[in-house]
Structure 1
Amino acid sequence: MAYTTAELLWLKHLLSDLGVPFNKPPTLLCDNIGAIFMTNNPVIRTRSKHIALDFHFIREQVESGDLLVHGVSSVEQVADIFTKALSKERVATLRNKLQV
């Protein structure tokens, strides 16, 4: 999530330098409910000092309004086509979602 956040912010800054306006912040979709909770909940900050700095970086972006983090169910996770062994039917469904 941290790498994708950094890439999203880089693309946002690049496009704004090229004159492309943004009406709302980019949305990062994640299927890990625990990670989403940690990025959106400021109370857990005091209990998570041992967590990698990545989550703190993402949380700062969420708190500043530069990023939105939302959940997506594992069934709807399109990236699975690139990372998991799937049945033919599941591959066909995800390929259609990718419009390939």
Structure 2
Amino acid sequence: MSRVCELTGKGPMSGNNVSHANNRTRRRFLPNLNDVTLTSEKLGRGYSLRISAAALRSVDHRGGLDAFLAKAKDTELSDRARKIKRDLSKAEQPQL
């Protein structure tokens, strides 16, 4: 399981541990990933995603999963999130 947010693409960063003596050793800063189930109002079902805490706040701020995916760039989204976005766009189109 990769340590990448499925909605924002946020992944591990690298940096230094700096001791009191100013010795520097490499370290990794991992994103705060959580397993959550987000509900889509338009599709009427829940989706379990592994997203960062910052992405969860962004989803709440934008008004839910549907609104977040409508504004999100496809390059940042995971394959599963892109599929949900495609399903949402199909559901929005009027059926003839």
TMscore range, shorter length: under 0.3
Between Structure 1 and Structure 2, the one with more strand by share is 2
The TM-score with structure 2 as length reference comes to: 0.28
Q: Which has the higher contact order (CA 8 A, sep 6+)?
A: 1
Structure of greater Rg: 2
